[in-house]
Structure 1
């Protein structure tokens, strides 16, 4: 099938994103909208309290001279104040420009200049100092506040004299076609470009996504729940991905729209404890998080002498999930699954808080094996697909229509087409309004948000994603590679590196993998080791855990070779990895090798490790 469309059967509201906060505060004032960590406990914030706080901060922005359409930069980790400030900026009629708190000074300066921001709210004194050093080149930046410096309190005090009617007039200024946010892409080369996402883009995305994922976003407790159990049974989620990324941002706004209790966790080191205390009913993460959870559990089981039990439990979970697709689960498999549910699966669910039934994954392919594993342990991972330019999801698997290994069907109102060269094209109300400083949404730039060739909207309204994929006869979309990243070996074989990289990275000892071979006689790979799982392996094999001393270790290389062999089973011999090289250092966002969404900056890694790549072909 070359094209598939899903009919739009829900009505997209007219207005802007602030309407949800007002409606919740007035119609459900006592409903718990947020829980925020205060003094080692979760403190509830009602819808009425949130509305009052947003109005107070928004009045401060108005009093400071922020006008309708002005851009306000927000640079912070994921925390309650991020969401509060985001809505306050919208209440003031302004435009939020999110910046990753890990961004370099050069990136921060570029975004502040390019967006023409008149104000910035940063998180810490260190962030404030960094922006202050840049202000000489930022003549339009008039205000700088710090969250840790009580930005919320300062702004509420500043706006005490702003009349309610003036704020309401400002709040209702924006309509569906007006800009809500500028999200700068994290492309792998060149300067990032600002994606212009309107209130209408978000309203369309939220309306169809919340409707399709009603099992996640239904805020009401189940039938028969008593009052005491309501809070624990109602829908909730804990955000720990960066809110500067469109994926987390859409979930934030979706929770506010649906009245789902929302929490924030800024420190990944405390994530397990936060999940246990918050007890979300669903979570969202990128595939690398799901890989790490699985690999860590596997290595801990090995260290405790229970590696064999875990392996059998994992295979049982995968087999049970696959049998579910077939419609019949054999009795012996059901009994094994029930046994391992008591011995293994329950503990894994507890690591997610104990009541998490669903997870949403995006940003990269999850892989069929992990998809079946998580469904088999009782946590259904719903994969979707989208870009910054499409206000997050264009397609998604739903609780009622899931096909593991795909990214689901187009959301209602969206259409997908496969071009002659295999590129995926989309149309829908969530497709962006164009790039900042450009009147043409189809204009070319240096690079798109996902490291693929610059996405464009053609004369027929089709958005060119830069990704290669296919559509099955039921409308489910499968991503098979990135157009720009296709490798062509010296023998003329076209190879998609991401398929192999995802499979190799599933090995417990592997942190990252770069598949190479463009213009070379065969496919090779560079591998970095997982610093969390390596010590357990080293102890089990009575070896040092210093990476530099293990690069040529025969046992380690044999273990990694088994992972490579497993990955090669998914491709033809001409596409298989013939040689790999273990590197002494890891690739990180701070080092510039990964994007903030943990994607590999392929050009950067290839440039930095040219000698290592050449060494693969001197063997």
Structure 2
């Protein structure tokens, strides 16, 4: 199949902007809890009326400090309550937030604030302020710098008390759906980040159609209150879409700035979300942590058996949903029931206990991992999208999930596969272009179609599978074209592996660089009675090399011999954003990695 469309479920608004939802919620259901806010270690409810009052007061403070309709304001902070507060306050006066990743360097910050023409910037703490301070003399348009941890919300709110509410209303009513809502800069895997101009209508089309299609799975059971804990970065379009959709759908929204298990797990237990939206990395960490605990308790055999049962159980249900099988048989159902209390309930408990559904995007999730979670009682709907498509363009439908694919088009979206295999998208969520960059815009927008740069295929039911990126296809010196993504994801599925980058462009064969997951390696060493060695010595451990070789052999079963990984190198340190080897959304910067590890790569081919 070359093209598949799904009609919209939500009507495109003809008037208004994103801030209207805050005021409408307060008018229609003032006591409805729309947010959870963590203060002094406790989660406290925030009603629709209370949130409206905070947004309105902050909007008046922004006006008092000279922020005007159409102005751009940077936000450089981790995922926290105040980010959402500033987003809706800025939208209330027709201003445009510009997200800045909190880990950005001074030069990256300079480029985003300069290119966007930001007149002010909100930062989280003093380190962020110093990052901007290093380049502020080159940003003459930037006249205000506000720091969250220095109490700026209170200061701004106090300074706007003399402004009448009606002034904010006049600004808000002047916002139209086609007005710019935000400029989000791409991660920049290939060159300088580009500013994606997204309108209020883009977010409405995206959020309203996602909510209309998937709202039933936001609840753990019919009739309960839906809630989600957002730990994705709000500087990324995925997190921003979740924020907007939660406010528009009145889903209780909490913020968690850390992905570290020691911070995230207690908040999942306390907040008790009914569903979550995350990247595959989070689900992988939950799975590997559960497996390590089982091994530490001497129960690895039963755990692995429970995993196998869950996978087969979910696979049987998948076959039934598509009319290709009868569903789980009596024996499998009985085995599944045995492991429900022993294993599956404990996995769900690690996610807060109430969660029954999740959505995953940002990168590919291994089919077997998706099947395991579904068999354990948490169905994860994998999707696909870009900043340029305001997050999800496709996602698996709740009643017919095809694991290993990124699903069908979101309602209101069309997916087309071009002659060269490139995925093209069309829909109300497709952006209007790159800021100040008509040449780059013309390269990706063609008569309303977005050329994604990703390669994919549609099956007969309209489910999309992503097979790689056009710019990342490797061509060996023998002329063999290889997409590295499939190999990398399979190697990375091994518990000991943190990252994998496949190389081989203009070289005689395919090779790989592999980094290790510290928590898993520490556990692996202790379970085998081995000393905790420094990384430089550890990578030469023959038993460890044998484990990684198993991961490589498993990956090679997916491809032909000419495409397989012939050799690999275990590295002593992970690729990191600080070293310039990952984007803020944790994507590999392939050229930078190859340059940084040129000596190791040469040794693979000539060692």
TM-score (normalizing by structure 2): 0.96
1:118-145: CA deviations, max 9, x gaps? 1111111221232233221111111111
1:525-564 counterparts in 2 under 5 A?
525-545=512-532, 546-564=534-552
Q: Does 1:84 align with 2:85?
A: yes
1:506-517 → structure 2 map (5 Å cutoff): 506-517=493-504
- Look up the match of 1:54: 55
The Cα shift of 1:398 comes to 2.2
Q: CA deviation at 1:590?
A: 2.0
CA distance in 2, matches of 1:273, 1:420: 49
| Superposition deviation, residue 2 in structure 1 | 0.8
- Structure 1 vs Structure 2 CA RMSD: 1.4
What's the secondary structure of 1:570's corresponding residue? coil
Q: Distance in 1 between matches of 2:265 and 2:56?
A: 34
**2:475 is the counterpart of 1:475:** no
Q: Give 2:259's aligned residue.
A: 268
Q: Contact (CA 8 Å) 1:119, 1:141: kept in 2 or not? A: yes
Show the counterpart of 1:107.
108
Instruction: Measure how far apart 1:591 and its partner are.
Output: 2.0
Residue 228 of structure 1 corresponds to none
85-94 vs 285-294, greater mean Cα deviation: 285-294
Q: Aligned equivalents of 1:528 and 1:351: distance in 2?
A: 26
- Residue 430 (structure 1) shift: 0.6
Per-residue deviation, residues 334-381 of structure 1 (Å, max 9, x unmatched) = 111111111111111000000101111001110111110111111111
Distance in structure 1 (CA, Å) of the matches to 2:30 and 2:477: 66
Contact 1:295/1:507 (CA < 8 Å) preserved in 2? Answer: no
C-alpha distance in structure 2 between counterparts of 1:10 and 1:139, whole Å: 43
Q: Distance in 1 between matches of 2:481 and 2:439?
A: 33
Partner of 1:399: 398
2:276 aligned residue: 283
Residue number in structure 1 paired with 2:598: 610
Q: Which shows bigger deviation, 282-291 or 427-436?
A: 282-291
Cα separation, 2, equivalents of 1:517 and 1:239: 38
Are the equivalent residues in 2 in contact too, given 1:300–1:536 (CA < 8 A)?
Answer: no
3-state DSSP class of the match of 2:339? helix
Residue number among 478, 481, 500 corresponding to 1:494 in the alignment:
481
Q: Distance in 2 between matches of 1:81 and 1:519?
A: 49
Aligned to 2:334: 335
- Which of 555, 565, 570 is the aligned partner of 1:582? 570
C-alpha contact (below 8 Å) 2:310/2:374 kept by paired residues: yes
Tell me what 1:358 maps to.
357
Does the Cα contact within 8 Å between 2:43 and 2:271 map onto a contact in 1? yes
Structure 2 residue aligned with 1:158: 159
**What SS does the corresponding residue of 2:582 show, helix, strand or coil?**
coil
Q: Which residue of 1 aligns with 2:293?
A: 300
Measure the CA separation in 1 of the matches of 2:216 and 2:566: 45
Q: How does 1:364-383 map to 2 (within 5 A)?
A: 364-383=363-382
What is the alpha-carbon distance in structure 1 between the residues aligned to residue 219 and residue 496 of structure 2? 39
What is the alpha-carbon distance in structure 1 between the residues aligned to residue 25 and residue 340 of structure 2? 39
Q: How many equivalent pairs are there?
A: 597
Which has the higher mean CA deviation after the structures are superposed, 68-77 or 593-602?
593-602
Query: What is the CA-CA distance between 1:222 and the residue it aligns to?
Result: 3.0
Q: What is aligned with 1:39?
A: 40
Indicate yes or no: 2:318 matched with 1:325.
yes
* TM superposition shift of 1:300: 2.4
3-state SS of paired residue (2:433)? coil
Paired residue secondary structure (1:479): strand
Q: CA deviation at 1:188?
A: 1.5
Q: Deviations over 1:175-207 (max 9, x none)?
A: 111100000111123221110000011111112
Comparing 273-282 and 157-166, the one that deviates more: 157-166
Moved more, 580-589 or 6-15: 6-15
**1:257 is matched with which residue: 248, 257, 263?**
248
Q: Residue by residue, what CA displacement relative to the aligned partner does 1:219-265 show, whole Å, maximum 9, x if unpaired?
A: 9x735xxxxxxxxx310000011100000110110000000000011
Q: Does 1:411 align with 2:410?
A: yes
Alignment-derived partner of residue 324 in structure 2: none
In 1, the alpha carbon distance for the partners of 2:156 and 2:257 equals 23
For residue 227 of structure 1, what is the aligned residue in structure 2? none
Q: Is the 8 A contact 2:318 2:401 kept in 1?
A: no
Residues 96 and 181 of structure 1 are in contact (CA less than 8 Å); yes or no, is this contact kept in structure 2? yes
SS class of match (1:61) = helix
Matched-pair contact (CA < 8 Å) for 2:146–2:152 = yes
What do residues 292-327 of structure 1 show as CA deviations (whole Å, max 9, x unaligned)?
A: 221222222222211111111111111111111222
- Residue 521 (structure 1) aligned to one of 483, 508, 511: 508
Question: Which has the higher mean CA deviation after the structures are superposed, 132-141 or 512-521?
Answer: 132-141
Structure 1 residue 218, shift from structure 2 partner: 6.3
| Counterparts of 2:97 and 2:208, CA distance in 1 | 21
Asked if the contact 1:30/1:48 (under 8 Å) is kept, the reply is yes
Structure 1 residue 554 displacement after superposition: 1.3
Q: Distance in 2 between matches of 1:495 and 1:249?
A: 34
Q: Does 2:56 correspond to 1:69?
A: no
Gaps of 5+ in 2: 321-326
Tell me if the contact between 2:536 and 2:572 (Cα under 8 Å) persists in the aligned partners.
yes
Distance 2:300 2:165 in 1: 63
Mapped contact 1:217–1:255 kept (Cα < 8 A): no
